[in-house]
Structure 1
């Protein structure tokens, strides 16, 4: 983004991003390089709309006083907000561009900005996922440490790190750029032939290789620790809880790992079209599947959303102890959220 700002908001003034050297008008780019894909475009739009409609109530429940006081819900809320914004790029914006058959040079400024935001949101989500699983591991295995690093306002201070991390990728690294020809986002704007390596974003590659792999490793350690505890506790409730934790962690981690690895590989090597599609869908799922996990596998959020839409049925509010179940979430790499605060897990 710094390049665009330095160029006065005109992407055509950026070295190696000047579309006017190839064709005279944006329409020529769309006609000669673009491939309209209305079916895929409308599917992306529908998916993005559904995820947003599901995610907003979940975020409202996370913001409730009895939930947001817990460190894990603070982390999950920021992660959910970032997911919501990312879906606006990788699903809603992508859907519109697919319907049109756009390429980078069709809307250079808009795609440059959207790609910068999408990249930064993905990388921020990756780091938040790492923090979230670390929070869960400490909370269950080392409770004194979670109080030391995540109690009170300390969680907010910790979350400033992924915010700054995401802003670094937005403003100081090359953006992702869309092309309907390959129905995905690449660092190469496909203006010039044989210049792919000049557009590579090596910090993004490092993010996908280190952050995502580290998150998966922590998830593995987390699941192993849960399994060890399970062997000491044979109650049926614990059995269900441990099984759900393992399932949520595995699904989320797998989706994000696939997205991260495919996107790294396809930036450097030619791949079949279906591999590109798998990578893009994994990116979408990495930011979108937590909404389904919250609603179908998380008792606290599911109950909270149900109460939100049944307010007129009861005028008497009875106080009850909030029961926090497993909180599954990713994160292309992206994994997202494991269970909620251990002090109220059932």
Structure 2
């Protein structure tokens, strides 16, 4: 987004100039897919409507007091924004068969929004998982850590989203490929300079870090839950054993003949 502020318009940004073709020519490069676009819009509306009662219940039942639910609400808001982009924006673009150069300004801004919500969702998901691991693995310190972690996580998610949206290259939608791409496919001849302009190293690192951390956190969570379940099973076995022993003692004690004087 900083490039849009710096250059004043999308067409003025280097390697985003679509003026070498007319609108009708660019329109021919897209593919209209209403059979996919309209269901995507309806699906997005349904998902957005489902989030509303969920968030309402969290506040109504005062679950929002718990740190993990603060992160859950943050993640829900991010997911609603991501759904807006992936369904309510992408759907109409599929219906009209849009490519970047048909609506460059709108697509440029929407692409930044799409990338922003994806990276924010990654950060919020990792924060929520970390919160749950601390709650299970460090229960004696959870009360002190969880609340601070929740607020710091939400602050980080918001800051990270702003950074991604403002300081990193955007994405461009292409209806033919049905994907948001770093390359707007606006150049007559591809060049290394253009590829460098579109390259988003931060997004690549975000994806690798997210996948790696999720694998590590999933593994740690699995081991903790397994150990916790094993401990609960051992306690339950001991409790059952104690009950059976007590029952046996009382049963045999009642059968003992008392001496007759």
Q: TM-score category by the smaller chain?
A: 0.7 to 0.9
Q: How does 1:214-229 map to 2 (within 5 A)?
A: 214-229=213-228
Q: Which of the two has higher C-alpha Rg?
A: 2
Report the counterpart of residue 208 of structure 2 in structure 1. Answer: 209
Q: What is the SS of the residue equivalent to 1:43? A: helix
Q: 1:98 aligns with which of 94, 101, 105?
A: 94
Q: How does 1:67-86 map to 2 (within 5 A)?
A: 67-86=63-82
- Is the CA contact 1:63–1:77 (under 8 Å) kept in the aligned structure 2? no
Number of aligned residue pairs: 230
Q: 1:19 to 1:145 in 2, by over 3 A?
A: farther
Q: 2:195 aligns with which of 167, 184, 197?
A: 197
Q: What is the SS of the residue equivalent to 1:174? A: coil
Which deviations, in whole Å up to 9, do the C-alpha atoms of 1:188-242 show, x marking residues without a partner?
A: 001124347321211000000012320231022101210121122239xxxxxxx
Query: 1:186: Cα distance to partner?
Result: 0.4
Aligned mates of 2:166, 2:59 — CA distance in 1: 29
Query: 1:65: Cα distance to partner?
Result: 5.4
Aligned mates of 1:89, 1:177 — CA distance in 2: 12
2:28 paired with 1:28: no
Aligned mates of 2:40, 2:141 — CA distance in 1: 42
Using the size of structure 2 for normalisation, the TM-score is: 0.83
Query: 1:108: Cα distance to partner?
Result: 0.6
Q: 2:104 aligns with which of 91, 108, 111?
A: 108
Aligned mates of 2:36, 2:105 — CA distance in 1: 23
2:154 paired with 1:155: no
- Is the CA contact 1:89–1:114 (under 8 Å) kept in the aligned structure 2? yes
Structure 1: where are the runs of 5+ without partners? 236-346
Which deviations, in whole Å up to 9, do the C-alpha atoms of 1:167-197 show, x marking residues without a partner?
A: 1110000011100010110000011243473
Query: 1:81: Cα distance to partner?
Result: 0.3
Query: 1:154: Cα distance to partner?
Result: 5.7
Aligned mates of 1:115, 1:62 — CA distance in 2: 31
Q: 1:112 to 1:143 in 2, by over 3 A?
A: same
Aligned mates of 2:183, 2:149 — CA distance in 1: 40
Report the counterpart of residue 14 of structure 1 in structure 2. Answer: 13
Report the counterpart of residue 175 of structure 1 in structure 2. Answer: 170
2:132 paired with 1:136: yes
- Is the CA contact 2:135–2:146 (under 8 Å) kept in the aligned structure 1? no
Aligned mates of 2:208, 2:162 — CA distance in 1: 19
Query: 1:80: Cα distance to partner?
Result: 0.2
Aligned mates of 1:79, 1:176 — CA distance in 2: 22
* Structure whose residues are more often helix by fraction: 2
- Is the CA contact 2:173–2:184 (under 8 Å) kept in the aligned structure 1? yes
Query: 1:13: Cα distance to partner?
Result: 0.7
Report the counterpart of residue 145 of structure 1 in structure 2. Answer: 141
- Is the CA contact 2:124–2:153 (under 8 Å) kept in the aligned structure 1? no
Q: What is the SS of the residue equivalent to 1:19? A: coil
Query: 1:158: Cα distance to partner?
Result: 3.1
Aligned mates of 1:176, 1:136 — CA distance in 2: 33
